[in-house]
Amino acid sequence: MQSFRAPLASPLFRQTPSFPFMHASEQNQVFAIIDQHATRAHEASAAWAHSSPTVRSGVLRALADALDARANELAVMADEETGLGIPRLTGEIARTSFQLRGFADEVVAGVPYVQVDDEAIPGPPPSGRPRLTRVMVPIGPVAVFAASNFPFAFSVLGGDTASALAAGCPVIVKPHGGHPRLSIEVAKIAAEVLRAQGVEEGVFSMLDCDMSRDANIHLVKHPLIAGVAFTGSYQGGVALWRAANEREIPIPFFGELGSINPVVVLPAALHDDPVAPAKVLAASMLQGCGQFCTSPGVIVVVDDQRGREFVSALGDSLAGQATHRMLSEGIRNGFEDAVARIKANANIEVVLEGNEAGAGPAPRLFQTTGAAFIADASLHEEMFGPAAVVVMVPSVDAIPDVLSAVKGSLTVTIWGGDQDNHENREIVRVAQNIGGRVLFSGVPTGVAVTRAQQHGGPWPASTDPKTTSVGYAALQRFLRPVALQDAPEWLLQRA
């Protein structure tokens, strides 16, 4: 366990002593810090829940403006900690401020304040009824677990924080250890904005202390925490999801846990040219050194001449490509371990195992048969990095069974499915069963922030497939419907 970082001067951060190791007494002090954050968030909850659209949207827009004003400096700081590159990080800051402003627009439009009113009808039921007004109530303080691979868009002021604040919920951020200096700086910016806006302390705070597994669970189980948003590993997410459900009063846990994002390459997509699609897919696999939650991990191809040419071209497109360093040594080690397990599988053929040409790992490409993939669950596991498994099937009819073996996925991509026929309809049906987003062109690496977006999928992609962590519907996660029956007018106006 690393030593604690120095405390921030802002009152939004609890002062934390510096210890070289986490002993029992030190852990108790971390628990006490969490308790302080949760108490302050709880105390601020009622006022923020009833904040006006003008106040709430003003805070979100001010946060976006503050990020943009420091974009160049923050991108450099993020690159030093993550190695993701200035162009990528500059674009991510723009996305983060864009979605903050987008949630502000949703607030002004009245989305978190929507009411559905059924007027009373005299007479006995079932035709008669009282007046019923359905309103949306913020659930309360939300713990946000930041991600490693998007140090802005899924971090301190990322989509989970923005959507929770837009819904009227205070936020406590547990930052990711992969970019601590950046997290502290962004939290300072947020603290300054909230003070300037006159927002009550407790609406936003960040835990600026080292968090053990037990401390993370203490946060999730804290009785004043009303919900959790998590983006990270399957193992860590499942542990916290279980903790949320083991509470005396369980709370919603919105977790994104990992995905292998199958890409189905139908013969129609390769009819004219198998090389160009291979280059497009290779670029998607390499983007961010394969550290996107939507990175293609399984590629399903019909085993015919064009299909084999496509796989060969994909290997050629990946060969010799330089990758940047991965986010952490732990992630790099996890990637190499996953690759080694796949390579050791008796049903796997190595298509590409190149030499490292950059600071990151060499791209890897493996191949297996549809029957072997379906039978072996170990081939369905995510390799978080620039690698994928090609599944060769004897015909298009075999593709639905391969997709069904995948279980839940954030995305499924289908190239060449433009014709309305029985085979394509069946592939699309299964794709919709297992995926949160089904693409018919382009690549899955790239998630637009819109009202129609769905970034979530059946288990194990996410813990609640009915919700999304990207797009403006994300704020619905943190609202709970309440029906008011024959409510007085003062209450309806206040709601």
Active site residues: 256, 293
Which DSSP string do the residues of 288-330 spell out, in sequence order?
GGG-STT---EEEEESSHHHHHHHHHHHHHHTT---PPPS-HH
Question: Could you tell me if 358 and 234 are in contact, meaning their C-beta atoms sit under 8 angstroms apart?
Answer: no
Give me the residue label for tokens 């796989």: 311
In sequence order, what are the residues at sequence separation of 6 or more whose Cβ sits closer than 8 angstroms to the Cβ of residue 121? 127, 128, 129
Residue type, 312: S
Report the C-alpha gap between 487 and 63 in whole angstroms. 36
Pairing of strands 409-415, 435-439: parallel
Question: Could you tell me if 386 and 360 are in contact, meaning their C-beta atoms sit under 8 angstroms apart?
Answer: yes
Report the C-alpha gap between 466 and 457 in whole angstroms. 8
Residue type, 327: L
Residue type, 333: N
In sequence order, what are the residues at sequence separation of 6 or more whose Cβ sits closer than 8 angstroms to the Cβ of residue 371? none
Question: Could you tell me if 341 and 335 are in contact, meaning their C-beta atoms sit under 8 angstroms apart?
Answer: no
Cα pseudo-dihedral 245, 383, 160, 456, rounded to 10? -70
Give me the residue label for tokens 């005299």: 122
Tokens representing residue 155 in the block: 């971090």
Sign of CA dihedral 293, 295, 298, 302: positive
Chain centre distance of CA 324: 22
Q: What is the DSSP code (8-state) at residue 475?
A: G
Which DSSP string do the residues of 152-198 spell out, in sequence order?
TTTSTTSHHHHHHHHHT--EEEE--TTSHHHHHHHHHHHHHHHHHTT
Report the C-alpha gap between 3 and 167 in whole angstroms. 35
Tokens representing residue 282 in the block: 């290779």
Report the C-alpha gap between 49 and 135 in whole angstroms. 13
